[in-house]
Amino acid sequence: MMPRVRNLLIVANWKMNTTPADAAALASAIAAATIEPLVQRVICPPFVSLAAVARALAGTDVGVGAQNVHAEVSGAYTGEIAASMLTGLASWCLVGHSERRRDQAETDELIGRKLVRCRETGLRPILCVGERLDEREADRAEETVRRQLEGALGVAAGGQGIDPDLVVAYEPVWAIGTGRSARGADAAAMAETIRESCAGLGMPDAERLTVLYGGSVTSSSIGEFLAEPSIDGALVGGASLRVDEMAAIVARAALTASARADASDG
C-alpha cells in the first residue's frame, strides 16, 4: 500500500503568457484565491515576469518557479539564463518540459546537466517526462518514460545520488494542448513506474517521491487524477492563467490532502 505522507503540489506553468504588469496582478489574485495550508502551490511565469511575481508573492506561501535553466554555469550563451541568475527570484524550476524537448530538441543528457545546475544552486527541480502518441499506441509508453528517467538522472546523480528534492511530472505529450487527457488509472500506473525506476536508479525512499500529472489539467478533470493515491498533484498549463480554475483545482487538492491525512492517521 502506498504511504500517504507526500505533500499535495499544484504547479502553474504560464508558458509564454503574461507581461510583468499583468503577471503580478494574476499571481496576487491566485495566491488570495488558493489559501490552502495542505497544498503546496508554485507559479512558473516567463523569465521577464519572475521579479514581478516574486514581489507579488512575497509574504505568501506560494512558491515561484522558473520554466527552464541552462545546462552550463555561465558563458557565451546569448539569450539563456543560468541557475545562479535565478537566486532570489525562484526556488523551483521546470526541467525537460515536453515543449522544450520538441522545440529545442533537448536530450536526456542535456536535461540531466540542467538537473545538476539546479542542485548546485538549491533550485528544487520538477523533471518532466512522458511519451508521444505513437509510443503509447506501440505499447512503449513505460519504456519511453524509463529511458527518459535513466538518461537524465544517470547524468544528474553523478556520485551524489538522485537529488532528494526531486519532483517528477508525468505529462503524456499527446494530452498537452490537444483537448485529450489520459485516464486516471493510466497516470497512476505510470506514477508507480516512475517510482520503481527511481528506486532502481538508487533513490532512497523512492516511494516518497512526489509525482504530478500534467496534460490539459482543468478543474473538471483534476478529480480523476487526485483520486489515485499515487498521484500527488498536477502541473497545470492553460487553466493556470485563470483564477477561478486555479482556485477550484487547489480546492480539490485540499480535499484530497485532508482525506489522505485522515486515512493515514486511521
- DSSP-derived secondary structure for the chain: -----PPEEEEEE--S---HHHHHHHHHHHHHH---TTEEEEEE--GGGHHHHHHHHTTSSEEEEES---SSSSSS-TT---GGGGTTT-SEEEES-HHHHHHS---HHHHHHHHHHHHHHTPEEEEEE---HHHHHTT-HHHHHHHHHHHHHHHHHTTT-S-TT-EEEE--GGGSSSS----HHHHHHHHHHHHHHHHHTT-TTGGG-EEEE-SS--TTTHHHHHTSTT--EEEE-GGGG-HHHHHHHHHHHHHHHHHHHHHHH-
Could you report the per-residue pLDDT of 22-61, keeping only the tens digit for each? 999 999 999 999 999 999 999 999 999 999 999 999 999 9
- What is the average per-residue pLDDT within 60-72? 98
Identified catalytic residue from 99, 171, 228, 245: 171
Entry field: residues in the chain: 266
**In the numeric block, which cell numbers belong to residue 114?**
540542467
pTM attached to this predicted model: 0.95
**pLDDT of 215:** 87
Q: Is 260:229 a contact under the CB 8 Å cutoff?
A: yes
Q: How confident is the model at residue 262 (pLDDT cuts 50, 70, 90)?
A: confident
pLDDT in tens, 3-15: 446 889 999 999 9
The predicted-structure confidence for 163-186, as pLDDT tens digits, reads as follows 999 999 999 998 877 777 789 999
**What span, in angstroms and rounded, lies between the C-alpha atoms of 69 and 80?**
8
Residue 33, amino acid: A
Report the percentage of the chain scoring pLDDT > 90. 88
Q: List the beta bridge partners of residue 41.
A: 10, 62
Average pLDDT over residues 75-94: 98
Residue type, 115: L
Residue 5: per-residue pLDDT: 60
Question: Catalytic one among 97, 106, 135, 228?
Answer: 97
Confidence check: pLDDT of 263 > 90: no
| Contact call for residues 234 and 256 (beta carbons, < 8 A) | no
User: What are the cell numbers at 46?
Assistant: 516567463
Indicate if 171 belongs to the active site. Answer: yes
Average pLDDT of the residues of the chain:
94
Q: Which CATH superfamily is domain 8-239 in?
A: Aldolase class I (3.20.20.70)
Average pLDDT over residues 11-21: 97
Question: Who contacts 51 (Cβ-Cβ below 8 Å, separation ≥6)?
Answer: 20, 89
pLDDT of residue 2: 44
Q: What is the mean pLDDT of residues 126-145?
A: 95
> Which pLDDT does position 1 carry in this prediction?
38
**Pairing of the two strands 39-44 and 8-13:** parallel
For residue 266, what pLDDT band results from cuts at 50, 70 and 90? low
In 3-state terms, what secondary structure has residue 10?
strand
Q: Cα 249–253–255 angle (5° rounding)?
A: 120
Mean pLDDT on 129-148:
95
- Where do the domains of the chain lie? 8-239
User: What is the rounded average pLDDT of the residues 201-215?
Assistant: 94
Give 210-260 pLDDT, tens digit per residue: 999 998 899 999 999 999 999 999 999 999 999 999 999 999 999 999 999
CA distance 112 to 97: 13
Compute the distance between CA of residue 67 and CA of residue 223 in angstroms, rounded to an integer: 25
> 3-state DSSP helix/strand/coil percent for the chain, to nearest 5?
45, 15, 40
